[in-house]
Amino acid sequence: MANDELTKAWATLTEQLMDAAGQVDALSEGHDPTVRAEGYRFLTRILVGMTEFQVEQEADYPSLVQIMSPIRKFFVDNPDTLYHRATLNPALRYRIHGRRGEELYLAFCLYGMRGRTNCILANVCDADMEFDDNGGFELVLSAERPDGVKNWIQLDNIARTLVTRQYFTDLRQKPAELNIQLLDDIAPPPAPTVEGITHRLRALSQSMSRTLKSTQLASKAWMKQPNTVSIDSTAEGLDSLFPTPDNEYVGGWYKLEEDEALVMEGRAPECRYWSVQLCSRWLESRDFVNLKIILNHSQVKLAADGSFRIVVAHRDFGEANHLNTASHREGGVIFRWLLPSSEWSQPKFHVKKL
């Protein structure tokens, strides 16, 4: 029993957690102690999240689980977005049905692993779909398109994960109703087996490793040139962060002294939605419950010519558009342009003494 596959899978997971702690220590060296504390908290958060996704969610008995929350964040989560996730088996058929709410954007993005690399396989948003007069809809996911189906996503043979996105300008707005069901006949779930839990623990270990590695590589690339625009949608490794192809991403890394602010100026394109937000070394959105760490297009005060000026600073000194660093000397800044319909240019960043 001591050396069976289940015990080995558990040992691998616990060893990986110890290794992850060592990586957090190494990556935090030379930074504010808060970065290390946030790193350990990040590990607990992704452990809980990946356990739910890899151990609890099943392709044979599908469910849409909320991914992000104020206490579960990763991969530069957008506080204005409600995300749900389902685990899929490309050999099966699924039906998603529901009704539009007050969201300004609804989409379904399919992901899979090509070798060791995450990739986008398909994406369908509300502009591609048909709805009834009450906002009701049905979306089928299958390898082949059934007759008479209006909304369909083809399941590639490497498809494994579905992510739904709903965007809002105000989180008090009513979300869409979403439900998923299997269209194939499957027996009720069996009791857990040694083989089944062994497989899931291995998947959990792999998922934890990928998440930490992707976070480390992405943030490290951002940090190379602080206070400049250093990343966009062409950035290497972006696919590992589960992006949507409907967004154009642009951003950088701020690094500020107490008496400094990062000034970001530019002009947003015509688009469905746009925002700018702050995130941590671990690619978690900052505390959006208690602080202003994100501004969307409905909140930004524009100049007479339509341009914006947004300031990142440790304190509010009277700027019309201010993002609060919560006293973090450094962190990420990310703009999202959703479904841009006009040409756009990168914003300009510069540091200002207060």
CA distance 243 to 283: 13
Q: Long-range contacts of range 118-123, CB-CB < 8 Å, 24 or more positions apart? A: 118/210, 118/239, 118/240, 118/242, 119/239, 120/239, 120/243, 120/244, 120/245, 121/156, 121/158, 121/159, 122/153, 122/154, 122/156, 122/159, 123/244, 123/245, 123/246
- Edge-first strand listing for the sheet containing 348-353: 322-324, 308-313, 260-266, 348-353
CA distance 63 to 224: 40
- C-alpha dist (Å) from residue 159 to 22, 61, 109, 200, 237: 33, 16, 11, 18, 19
pLDDT at 316: 86
pLDDT at 1: 60
The two domains 5-182 and 224-353 share their CATH topology (first three levels equal): yes
Task: Go through 302-318 and write b for each residue having 16 or more CB atoms within 10 A of its CB, e for each that does not.
Answer: eeeeeebbbbbbbeeee
3-state percent breakdown (helix, strand, coil) of the chain, nearest 5 = 25, 35, 45
HEC per residue, 65-121: EECCECCECCCCCCCCEEEEEEECCCCCCEEEEEECCCCCEEEEEEEEEECCEEEEE
Query: What is the model's pTM?
Result: 0.95
Domain ranges, ordered by start, for the chain:
5-182, 224-353
pLDDT at 2: 62
Domain 5-182 fold is Jelly Rolls (2.60.120)
pLDDT at 318: 87
Helix H or strand E segment including 240: none
Q: Tens place of pLDDT for every residue, the chain, 354 residues?
A: 666 999 999 999 999 999 999 999 999 998 889 999 999 999 999 999 999 999 999 999 999 999 999 999 999 999 999 999 999 999 999 999 999 999 999 999 999 999 888 999 999 999 999 999 999 999 999 999 999 999 999 999 999 999 999 999 999 999 999 999 999 999 888 999 999 999 999 999 999 999 999 999 999 888 999 999 998 998 878 889 999 999 999 999 999 999 999 999 999 999 999 999 999 999 999 999 999 999 999 999 999 999 999 999 998 888 999 999 988 999 999 999 999 998 888 999 999 998
pLDDT at 237: 80
pLDDT at 289: 96
CATH code given to domain 224-353: 2.60.120.600
